[in-house]
Structure 1
Amino acid sequence: MDIAEIPILSLADEPRGIASDIGRSFRTFGFALVRDHGIDPALIAEAWRLTAELFALPTEEKMRYFMAGTGGARGYTPFRTEVAKGATEKDLKEFWHVGRDLPDDHPLRSTMLPNIWPESPAGFRTVFETLFAEFDRAGSRLLSAIALDLGLDEHWFDPAIEDGNSVLRLLHYPPVKAEASGAIRAGAHEDINLITLLLGAEEAGLELLGKDGRWLSIAPPEGALVVNIGDMLQRLTNHVLPSTTHRVRNPAGERAGYSRYSMPFFLHPRSDFRLETLPECIGSDRPDRYPATITADEYLQERLREIGLKG
C-alpha cells in the first residue's frame, strides 16, 4: 500500500503563516496533517482510556444511551448501524456522539439535542466537554488559515461556526471476525461537515482515494491531527477545496484480532447558516455548481437519511 505524501504542518504558526501550505495540501489531497495543535496530550490520553472503558461496557448497558429516531445525534449508536452512501454493507463500528449544549431559550435549540452522559466511566463528562472545546478552538484556527488561502478575511468563518452543530465522535472498531466478509470498518465515503479533525489515525487502516484512482494510506506522526475537507466546505468553495473519498479498511493478520479506536471532530456551521457559493470561487472557467442555496441543517438531514442514521 502506497502512503500519501501529505506534508506535515504546524498549528503553532499563525494562520497567515500556514495558509498557502494548507491550501495546497487540501487542493492536492483533500487532507492535511497538523502537529502542534495545542490539545494537551494528558487530556487526549485520558480520553482514550475513557473511550476504551465506555465501549467495553455490556451491550445492554450501552443501549440505555441509544436514542432511536435522532440520527445518532447524541449518545450511543450500535454496531453495524451506519452505512456509507451508496453502499449495501453496514460499517463494522459502533460510536458515541458528544455535541454542543445550548441553553433552552437559544434560537437554534430545536436543531441541536442535549448531550447524553453515561453513568460510567467516572469523569467522562468533564473530560469530553473539555476535549470538545479544545477541538473547537483548533478547528477555528484551521478555518482562519483556510479563509486566508481563499482570499477571505481571517475571521470570515467566525460567525458561521458560532454555536455550530459540531460533533465529537468516539469510534470503536471491534476485532474483525470472519463472518464480516464483505463489510469493512468504514466504507468509502466523504464527510458531511466543513472540516474534520481526527485523532487516532496512527493505527493503520485510514486511506484516501487519490486522483489517479489508487487508495493511499494516511500515516500521521504520533499525536498529529488528520484534517480533511467535508462536503459543506466543498460546496461553499465550488469544489476548489475537494471533499476526498476515504475509508477505514479491515486489518490483516494478527491486527484483525485487535480493536481500533479513533476520535473525529466534525466541525459544522450553525444550523441556520446558508451554504451559498463563495464569489471568490466562481469564474468563467469555474461556473457556480450550486446556484440554489440550502441551510446547513437541511443539508445535514438529507445526508443523515442517505447514510442510514435517519429514516
Structure 2
Amino acid sequence: MSQTALADVQVVSLADQAAEPEGFARAFGGSFERFGFAIVRDHGIDAGLIERAWKLTAELYAQPDEVKRRGHVPGGGGARGYTPFGIEIAKDAKENDLKEFWHIGRELPAGHRFADVMAPNVWPEAPEGFRETFLELFAAFDTAGDRLLSAIARYLDLAPDWFDPAVKDGNSVLRLLHYPPVSADAPGVRAGAHEDINLITLLLGAEEAGLELLDRDGNWLAVKPPEGALVVNVGDMLQRLTNHVLPSTTHRVVNPPPERRGHSRYSMPFFLHPAPDFVIKTLPGCVSADNPNRYPEPITAHDYLHERLVQIGLIKA
C-alpha cells in the first residue's frame, strides 16, 4: 500500500463550495478522476440526525430474526425493506457477503409515473420513530448528493445544473448495513470486492476499520475518514456516462483485527441513482482519439440496474 497515494486522496469541505465552486469542483473531481473516490467533510447532514439514525439502526438489527423478516419482500430484489443475512454476493465472487441490510427509497405520490418501477417503502413496526428519521436522512443525503453532482458537472465542463433533470425523482436507495460479529475462522471479507451500480455513493460509517479500495497499481488502500465525514465514490453508471474518465472504484469490506471481531459493524451508504428513464449515453466531452467511446449503445438507468441486480443475485434473470 502506498502511503503517498493515501496522502494524496482529497479530503474536501463541502462548505467551500459556495465561495469557491470552481476550486471545490477541481479538488473533488480531481480526486474522483485519480482514485474513484473522495472524502467529504462539512457535508451539511445534521450530526444529531445521524446520531439518531445510528441508534435506530442498532435497535432494528437487535430484534429477533423472525421480526426482521417481516420486512422482507420475496421476489422484490431487495429494492425495499429487509434483505436477510448472506443473500447478496459480489459479482464473480464465490462467497456470499456476511451482512444483512434494509433499503429505504424515495417516497412517491399516488399515481406517479415511476410507481410501476420504483417499489413503495416497507417500514418496520419498531423501533419507534424509524420512518420519520430515515425519511429526513434520505432527504439530507439527497441534498448533499445534488451539491456533489453539481461539482462533478463543473469538473466535466458541463452546466452546474446538468444532473438536476437526470436525478429528479431518481431511484436512489439508502441502505442500513449490519455486519454481525464474526468468528476467528470466518472468511476474510465481510463484503466481496465489487463496484457500485449507481452514479455516486455517499457513505457514513467508514470510521470503523474494514473498508478498502483498490488503487490503479493493484494495491488495496485502507480508508478511514475523519469522524463524521462522508466517503464518496464513483458508481458504474457515472463511469459509463463519462467513458471511464471518472473510474468506478472496486472496493471491499474486510474482517476486522481479532480484537474487533466480536463487534458488529454498521454503515449507511446512500446510492444516488438517476430516474429510471434517464438514458446513460456517453458524454461527447469524454470521448477522444486516446479514449474512444466504449459504450456506443445507450441504455436506460432502469435496464442497467436490472442487469446488475441479476449479476449480484438479488433478482432472478
Give the TM-score normalised by the residue count of structure 2. Answer: 0.96
Deviations 1:71-106 (A, max 9, x none): 100000000010000001000000000000112311
Q: For the residues of structure 2 that align with 1:204 and 1:287, how far apart are their CA atoms?
A: 38
User: Are the counterparts in 2 of residues 198 and 264 from structure 1 also a CA contact under 8 Å?
Assistant: yes
2:249 pairs with one of 233, 244, 268:
244
**Greater shift in the superposed pair: 10-19 or 207-216:** 10-19
User: Are the counterparts in 2 of residues 92 and 183 from structure 1 also a CA contact under 8 Å?
Assistant: no
Deviation at 1:218, TM superposition (A): 0.6
Aligned position for 1:99? 105
Aligned position for 1:18? 24
For 1:137, give the aligned amino acid.
T
Q: Secondary structure at the match of 1:114?
A: coil
Aligned position for 2:304? 299
Pairing of 1:217-256 with structure 2 (within 5 A):
217-256=222-261
User: Are the counterparts in 1 of residues 184 and 261 from structure 2 also a CA contact under 8 Å?
Assistant: no
Note if 1:79 corresponds to 2:85: yes
User: Are the counterparts in 2 of residues 2 and 217 from structure 1 also a CA contact under 8 Å?
Assistant: no
Equivalenced residue count is 310
Note if 1:197 corresponds to 2:202: yes
Deviation at 1:16, TM superposition (A): 2.8
Q: Residues 74 and 149 of structure 1: is their aligned pair in 2 closer, same or farther, counting only changes over 3 Å? A: same
For 1:175, give the aligned amino acid.
P
Q: Secondary structure at the match of 2:16?
A: coil
Give the TM-score normalised by the residue count of structure 1. Answer: 0.98
Q: For the residues of structure 1 that align with 2:188 and 2:126, how far apart are their CA atoms?
A: 31
Identity %: 66
User: Are the counterparts in 1 of residues 184 and 258 from structure 2 also a CA contact under 8 Å?
Assistant: no
Q: For the residues of structure 1 that align with 2:33 and 2:41, how far apart are their CA atoms?
A: 19
Q: Secondary structure at the match of 1:269?
A: coil
User: Are the counterparts in 2 of residues 90 and 183 from structure 1 also a CA contact under 8 Å?
Assistant: no
**Greater shift in the superposed pair: 20-29 or 51-60:** 20-29
Unaligned 5+ runs, structure 1: none
Note if 1:208 corresponds to 2:181: no
Q: Secondary structure at the match of 2:182?
A: coil
Note if 1:125 corresponds to 2:131: yes
User: Are the counterparts in 2 of residues 89 and 183 from structure 1 also a CA contact under 8 Å?
Assistant: no
Pairing of 1:39-54 with structure 2 (within 5 A):
39-54=45-60
Aligned position for 1:37? 43
Note if 1:8 corresponds to 2:11: yes
Unaligned 5+ runs, structure 2: none
